[in-house]
Amino acid sequence: MIPPVSDAPPPRTVPAVDRAARLLSVLESQARPMTISELARALGINKGTMRDLLETLRAHAWLERDDLTKAYRLGPRLARLGMAALGQLDLPSVARPFMQELADHVSGAVLLVVPHGDRATIVDKVDRGGVGVEVSANVGSRIRTAAGALGKVLLAHASAGEVERALADIVRPTPNTITDPSQYVLELERARRQGFATDDEEYLRGVRAAAAPVFDARGHLVAAVLVVALTGSLPPDDLPRTGEATARAASAISAALGAPD
């Protein structure tokens, strides 16, 4: 989502806090312990100032120092802080601005779904109206996950055993539903490769859809963004574009949840 242009001046920053934040970002991005000299070069400040900064952060357990190499690494208190931050994240609240942005550019309703076994629960919905998506897509509804775009996205990131069980239990609600195991596996590979999946009346007659995965800070799939529309409002030629837009929205939500790049 592109933030609105603002004429307001940039916020004032406290130099010491800014240096500390940039220091922690360097240690995060390098993903390894670093010495005072390395960090001083990375931030462009002298070693004395860097030493004071490092020792201050170490006193608060934000950093640890290896007594043998004298290198510094992120400390245990940062891990606790990160877990606390994750615990305060509300998935629908985080996702909604990106879902609203997506709804402005696609035909159909935009759903946020959370998987639970062979079902998924709709936890939020944005529908601009006017497209008449006459499907059971109310918040709180549970839907099967094997068939259609949603199932492809979820199973693309599932274990081999989960895929095998899903294929054994898959039903065929429409003539377009893919039930052949070899063809379905190819669909899963395509979903992983392109970051989204689509379906053309594979889940419901008269409905086309696109879906993309949402990941949390641990890299685990925790939800999916699903766009559903009647065939009259979403031509088949528009499915790839809708899938790409859905993938961009899902990636933005993942980033907001702290998912790794």
Structure confidence at residue 228 as a pLDDT band (50, 70, 90):
very high
How far is the C-alpha of 200 from the C-alpha of 209, rounded, in Å? Answer: 7
CA–CA distance, 77 with 155 (Å, rounded to integer): 35
* Long-range pairs, 120-124, Cβ under 8 A, ≥24: 120/145, 120/150, 120/154, 120/224, 123/91, 123/92, 123/223, 124/92, 124/95, 124/96, 124/99
Least confident of 2-16, 83-97, 247-261: 2-16
Q: Are the CB atoms for 39 and 54 separated by under 8 Å?
A: yes
Burial of 250 (0-12, 13-18, 19+ CB in 10 A): buried
- Predicted confidence (pLDDT) per residue in 84-111, tens digit: 655 555 888 899 999 999 999 998 899 9
pLDDT tens digits for range 170-213:
777 888 888 888 888 899 999 999 999 999 998 888 999 999 99
Mean pLDDT over the full length of the chain: 84
Residue 117 pLDDT greater than 90, yes or no: no
For 257, the 3-state DSSP assignment is coil
At the topology level, CATH places domain 15-86 in: Arc Repressor Mutant, subunit A (1.10.10)
Residue 120 has pLDDT above 80, yes or no: yes
User: Residue 128: is its pLDDT beyond 80?
Assistant: no
| Strand, helix or coil for residue 92 | helix
Question: Which tokens is 49 given?
Answer: 């100032």
Q: What is the pLDDT of residue 6?
A: 38
Q: How many CA atoms are closer than 13 Å to the CA of 160, on its beta-carbon side? A: 0
10 — pLDDT class (breaks 50, 70, 90): low
Rg from Cα positions in the chain: 23
Report pTM.
0.67
Domain ranges of the chain: 15-86, 89-256
Q: What CATH number has the domain spanning 89-256? A: 3.30.450.40
pLDDT digits (tens, 9 = 90+) for 46-61: 988 899 889 888 888 8
Give residue 110's pLDDT.
94
- Give mean pLDDT, residues 69-74: 89
Q: Between these two residues, 3 and 253, which has the higher pLDDT value?
A: 253
Task: Report the C-alpha dihedral over residues 79, 85, 86, 87, rounded to 10 degrees.
Answer: 110
Instruction: Characterise 130 by phi-psi region: left (phi > 0), alpha (psi -120 to 50), beta (else).
Output: left
pLDDT computed for residue 258 by the predictor: 84
Q: Given pLDDT bands bounded at 50, 70 and 90, which one contains residue 74?
A: confident
Q: How far is 233 from 107, CA to CA, in rounded Å?
A: 6
Residue 195 is predicted with a pLDDT of 95
**Which residues 6+ apart lie within 8 Å of 47 measured at CB?**
36, 37, 40
Residue 7: per-residue pLDDT: 46
Task: Output the pLDDT for position 144.
Answer: 77
Using CA atoms, how far residue 138 sits from 110, 168, 172, 193, 215, in Å, is 11, 28, 23, 30, 23
Lowest mean pLDDT among 105-109, 141-145, 146-150, 251-255: 141-145
The predicted model gives 33-44 an average pLDDT of: 90
- Which amino acid, 190? R
Q: Tell me what pLDDT residue 1 has.
A: 33
Whole-angstrom CA distances from 247 to 5, 7, 15, 21, 226 are 25, 31, 38, 30, 10
